């Protein structure tokens, strides 16, 4: 078996490092860690030693595969599905996690996450610890479950997709060739002052099919509660309810921008007077011209007509039995503070 795997890895151009600590037992699960050496913000140096020290060798046989080029993570994950690997673990930032997850949907191979980015939206929603040791401790518990994912014009997403200002900034950010939170913040401040809201016609396909017209700063569809970095666009969203949270942010002036950002951080955005929200299984959005959209922060340009839907129980993933999903509920002090300011806004 060992010789066969080495031969196969050479034939397909993928370098496997195999660590087997005990004779193969039928009940032991196989794990492949897909490590993107250049993604995210945390160093991956020494990851192999962290796995050797913290992963339960009585439960798992494991392999580490390092990506070598764009799209390589998806290729490796696809092969894991074909090889009936039990758990495929993305070790990197949101881009790596999403790339791996898209290749696992509809399969019996479970997604695992060792978060190494700045946003870590999916990991945070699934209550995966931010440290390598902590994430491996969740994997050691060996508990998996099924979660929803969404599609935007057939492109899978796991946390959020949308159009409007956030998609516009994501596209500008990708085109700039520069990375980092500072670059992103500067771009938001620069472009936010001159961005013009757009017109959208939105139809909820799982109801009577009536269409509503909106002038919107952005429209987001959330499968999970946050964008990442504990920035909550849809507090209370669940990946196990078969629904998407639809958030429409209407045009605002002046202090409205900082107030919206504060509400996202405090998990109180649904109470903001510029925000409309509802839940749906499938929606259709029409706009006057093609433009930017994003799925989990990855920007692209799509046409005038956009179809967004939820796929229930389509992704198998390692879960944290102590806390399956982030409930994203503001604490009591925040509720009191927010209620007071809301009353002042109405005076």
Q: How far is CA 341 from CA 48, 160, 279, in A?
A: 50, 28, 27
Question: Which pLDDT does position 38 carry in this prediction?
Answer: 80
Question: Which pLDDT does position 8 carry in this prediction?
Answer: 32
**For residue 185, what are the contacts with CB-CB under 8 A and spacing of at least 6?**
none
CATH of 155-311+327-346, one of 3.30.420.40, 2.130.10.10, 2.60.200.40, 1.10.10.1150: 2.60.200.40
Q: What CA–CA distance (Å, rounded) separates 185 from 79?
A: 38
- Where, residue-wise, is CATH 3.40.50.10330 in the chain? 2-142
CATH of domain 2-142: 3.40.50.10330
- Where, residue-wise, is CATH 2.60.200.40 in the chain? 155-311+327-346
Instruction: Considering only CA atoms, give the Rg of the chain.
Output: 21
Helix (H, G, I), strand (E, B) or coil at 263: helix
Cβ atoms within 10 Å, residue 323: 11
**Nearest one of 72, 86, 62, 64 to 39, comparing CA atoms:** 72
Give yes or no for a contact between 97 and 90, defined as CB atoms under 8 angstroms apart. Answer: yes
Q: How far is CA 158 from CA 34, 58, 218, 227, in A?
A: 18, 32, 19, 10
Question: Which pLDDT does position 58 carry in this prediction?
Answer: 95
Question: Which pLDDT does position 341 carry in this prediction?
Answer: 53
For the whole model, what pTM was predicted? Answer: 0.84
Q: In which order are the strands placed within the sheet that holds 160-164?
A: 275-280, 244-249, 218-222, 160-164, 291-295, 298-302
Q: What CA–CA distance (Å, rounded) separates 101 from 264?
A: 26
Element spanning 19, H or E: strand 17-19
**For residue 72, what are the contacts with CB-CB under 8 A and spacing of at least 6?**
none
Element spanning 97, H or E: helix 94-104
**For residue 254, what are the contacts with CB-CB under 8 A and spacing of at least 6?**
none
One digit per residue, the tens of pLDDT, for the chain of length 347 reads 333 333 333 333 444 443 444 444 458 999 999 999 886 666 677 899 999 999 999 999 999 999 999 999 999 999 999 999 999 999 999 999 999 999 999 999 999 999 998 889 999 999 999 999 999 999 999 999 999 999 999 999 999 999 999 999 888 877 776 666 676 677 777 777 778 899 999 999 876 778 999 999 999 999 999 999 999 999 999 999 999 999 999 998 877 888 998 999 999 999 999 999 999 999 999 999 999 999 998 999 999 999 999 999 999 999 999 999 998 887 655 555 555 555 545 44
Longest dimension (CA), the chain: 76
Question: Which pLDDT does position 40 carry in this prediction?
Answer: 61
Q: What CA–CA distance (Å, rounded) separates 118 from 236?
A: 22
């Amino acid at each position: 078996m060992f010789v066969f795997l080495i031969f196969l890895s050479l034939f397909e151009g993928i370098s496997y490092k195999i660590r087997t600590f005990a004779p193969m037992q039928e009940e032991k699960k196989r794990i492949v860690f897909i490590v993107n050496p250049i993604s995210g913000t945390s160093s991956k140096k020494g990851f192999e030693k962290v796995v050797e020290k913290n992963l339960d060798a009585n439960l798992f046989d494991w392999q580490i595969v390092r990506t070598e080029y764009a799209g390589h993570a998806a290729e490796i994950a696809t092969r894991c599905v074909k090889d009936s690997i039990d758990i495929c673990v993305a070790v990197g930032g949101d881009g790596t996690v999403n790339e791996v997850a898209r290749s696992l949907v509809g399969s019996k191979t479970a997604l695992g996450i060792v978060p190494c980015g700045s946003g870590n939206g999916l990991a945070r929603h699934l209550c995966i610890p931010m440290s390598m040791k902590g994430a491996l401790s969740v994997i050691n518990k060996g508990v998996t479950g099924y979660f929803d994912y969404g599609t935007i014009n057939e492109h899978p997403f796991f946390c959020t997709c949308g159009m409007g200002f956030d998609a516009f900034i994501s596209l500008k950010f990708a085109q700039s060739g520069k990375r980092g939170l500072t670059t992103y913040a500067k771009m938001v401040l620069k472009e936010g002052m001159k961005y013009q809201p757009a017109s959208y016609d939105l139809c909820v396909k799982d109801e009577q099919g009536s269409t509503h017209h909106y002038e919107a700063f952005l429209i987001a569809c959330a499968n999970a509660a946050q964008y990442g970095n504990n920035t909550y666009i849809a507090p209370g969203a669940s990946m196990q309810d078969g629904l998407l949270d639809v958030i429409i942010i209407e045009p605002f002036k002046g202090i409205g921008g900082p107030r919206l950002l504060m509400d996202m951080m405090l998990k109180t955005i649904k109470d903001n007077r510029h925000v409309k929200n509802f839940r749906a299984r499938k929606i259709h959005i029409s706009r006057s011209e093609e433009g930017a959209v994003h799925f989990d922060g990855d920007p692209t340009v799509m046409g005038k007509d956009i179809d967004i839907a939820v796929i229930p129980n389509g992704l198998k993933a390692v879960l944290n039995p102590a806390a399956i999903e982030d409930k994203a509920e503001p604490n009591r002090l925040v509720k009191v503070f927010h209620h007071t300011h809301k009353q002042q806004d109405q005076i």
